[in-house]
Amino acid sequence: MERAAEHLGLPVGAVSAALANLTSMRLVIPDGTTPSGARAVDPDAAKAALARPLWDSIRCQQDQLERLEQGFGVLRDRFLRRCDHEALSAVETIPSMEEVRAALNRASAECQKEMLSSQPGGTRVPEAMQEALSRDIAMLDRGVRIRTLYHHTARFNGPSQAYVAAVGARGAEYRTAHELFGRIIVFDREVAFIPDHRGTWGAVVIREPSIVAYLCEVFEQTWTHATPFADAGQDGLEQVAKDLDQTILRLLGSGLKDESIARRLGISLRTTRRHIADILETLGAESRFQAGVLAANAGLMNADCAPGGEDEQAAGL
């Protein structure tokens, strides 16, 4: 060791550490037939010796993965046969978000003609949008017609604008409205997904033909009166704000509470209350009742929509 250190011009400790490293990599092995008691090994042979256990482990894991896929494939077939046996039950509840995503992916993969959807709210979860983007593009590439309804507030949302631009360029159609009937996705007018009424991440799948046809008719009526999607800047902020205020006035006149109005318009409760406050200030009204009367007199809403005593009480005043 000392002679090697002297020959290399290195400290003995450094030479000893290097030898230990080379030995651990099997590039040097003990050999009593050489004066130094060790000899160098062909790097290819050393690499093969080190890689062999790793390859064995990979092959073992591949075998495990194959058995796992085969086992779950059998379970999947049985699960789907059970669903088929249950008439692909007319109404089926899916409890978890993971199962909902799996069911949506399966339905979109099987969709051949048309997908209709209503997506209330001004924003959507980025992960959900990314997953939906992949599904939508795959369907469009197969010639499936896609139509989607958003709230007008989606026009102010950058990710929603980018999503519509990307998928719309491939032929998907998007319209917006101040009010939507709720969240729904319908594939080939045969199967519809609606939210679980308990407010969970689950969903209810409907396959009963009459119910699905009814939901499609509701969609078509809203679609007819909706506006082609355009970002707020393109469509004019002033006009969008004016339409929103008129809708809020009408909903106030119907006696809806702030929470219900926010939900119907797809905006936050805080934003809804700010709009209501601005409307009261603009009209010079001290109460919602007075705002309704002033708005009706000014022709901003139908007189029969102006809040009366009972409506005022229903609105939480």
Each residue's pLDDT expressed in tens, for the chain with a length of 317 residues: 566 656 667 776 776 677 777 777 777 777 666 656 677 777 877 787 788 888 889 989 998 988 888 888 888 777 777 665 555 578 888 988 889 989 999 999 999 999 999 998 755 666 777 778 889 999 999 999 999 999 887 887 778 888 898 899 999 999 988 888 889 999 999 999 999 887 677 899 999 999 999 999 999 999 999 989 875 555 556 666 777 777 888 787 777 888 888 877 777 788 888 888 888 888 787 777 777 677 777 666 544 444 443 333 222 22
| 225 shares a domain with 102 | yes
Select from 213, 234, 255 the last residue of a domain: 234
Domain total of the chain? 3
> pLDDT, tens digit, for every residue of 22-74?
777 777 777 666 656 677 777 877 787 788 888 889 989 998 988 888 888 88
| 13 shares a domain with 116 | no
Residue labelled with tokens 């929470």? 259
Kindly state whether residue 49 falls inside one of the protein's structural domains.
no
Residue 314's pLDDT is what? 29
| 198 shares a domain with 139 | yes
User: The domain spanning residue 96 has which CATH number?
Assistant: 3.30.870.10
Structure tokens at 138: 């795959």
Select from 234, 265, 286 the last residue of a domain: 234
User: Which value, in Å, is the radius of gyration of the alpha carbons in the chain?
Assistant: 33
| 241 shares a domain with 223 | no
Kindly state whether residue 48 falls inside one of the protein's structural domains.
no
| 274 shares a domain with 229 | no
Residue 12's pLDDT is what? 66
| 194 shares a domain with 121 | yes
| 203 shares a domain with 145 | yes
Strand 114-119 versus strand 28-30 pairing type: unpaired
Kindly state whether residue 17 falls inside one of the protein's structural domains.
yes
| 193 shares a domain with 160 | yes
Domain that residue 205 falls in: 91-234
| 240 shares a domain with 195 | no
Select from 234, 266, 281 the last residue of a domain: 234
Kindly state whether residue 66 falls inside one of the protein's structural domains.
no
Question: Which of 315, 203, 211 lies closest to 257, judged by CA?
Answer: 315
| 197 shares a domain with 245 | no
Kindly state whether residue 47 falls inside one of the protein's structural domains.
no
| 217 shares a domain with 158 | yes
Kindly state whether residue 261 falls inside one of the protein's structural domains.
yes
Residue 2's pLDDT is what? 62
Residue labelled with tokens 């993971």? 98
Half-sphere exposure of 297 toward its Cβ, with a 13 Å CA cutoff? Answer: 8
Determine the residue type at 221: Q
pTM, two decimals, is: 0.58
> pLDDT, tens digit, for every residue of 271-297?
888 888 888 888 787 777 777 677 777
Determine the residue type at 288: R
Structure tokens at 247: 């809708």
Residue 6's pLDDT is what? 60
DSSP letter assigned to residue 306: S
Mean pLDDT for the chain overall: 79
Question: Which of 99, 174, 100, 98 lies closest to 136, judged by CA?
Answer: 174
Is residue 118 within 8 A of residue 181, CB to CB? The reply is yes
Kindly state whether residue 126 falls inside one of the protein's structural domains.
yes
